[in-house]
Structure 1
């Protein structure tokens, strides 16, 4: 879909944002991905590149770490992987947004379901799911919010002193209307969340 044909409400996902400095990464992203055909394959190539070149390391970033810094240091958490993938997508003119949710279906060795950041890319009038960190199963994502980057989509905003308590989150799959219980599974198929902006 050419830019003039895009719905106005998706255009913010094409521009640089606080944590997704696509303008700063333009030359690098074009050198890596500019030769690829515009579409799902290019987005998957960007997702794969981020997963292969950035190491998942808890505590390796802060609340101010942006995509450019993640590219330099090559480490981060799900938020950093998502910001870098989004910045690379936008740098090659692919609409992409930051999505927060829960990672139902992730490997139990990682612990119970947790908050997770992932990417949705707008292709052919639909939003498609990508998990550049590779730690979760996109089919099991439970969306909380979507926006330009983490500044738009915090699952909590804290003001003043905070005394943390134990966090407890319980998610349980329910059978469909046909009575069949379907757990999330890894698939190479493209997964879309909807058919609109």
Structure 2
């Protein structure tokens, strides 16, 4: 008997890496603070590029940014910035590299003040997954992504505009934007 093909969101059908990312990660509620921060930083690197570009480079990013450990990244200096600017495995954009270092410092400042990044983010989002109604178009940004963007910017984060923030919200499962006929739509996770 032939194996039944899973129905996925259209964007995830034509590339095995996209399919794997879609099936295992995209839209799955993430509550680990470090993982949420890492994804926010990667979404910032995606600005002006396609997500598949970042996804293909994700392991190189993880190596270059030492596993996205905020305590390590926050201490990056000029030598590290120059090393990263020479690393062909990542997106070599000085402003985005600097934003990631600053993002690590902000993350640690929040932690030192007793703020858990995951609790902070999920509280901003209302504490539960937001699901789009069947047939409702997927927006590029929402009022909530604009609000979260403003809060993140006020904290000092960069590359966190409302469109980037919405893509991040989708990626980390704050928003479930799987198509109604996708096997992941409203899946128990």
Same fold at TM > 0.5 = no
TM-score by length of 1: 0.26
More helix by share: 2
TM-score by length of 2: 0.27
More strand by share: 1
Ranked by relative contact order (alpha carbons within 8 Å, sequence separation 6 or more), the top structure is 2
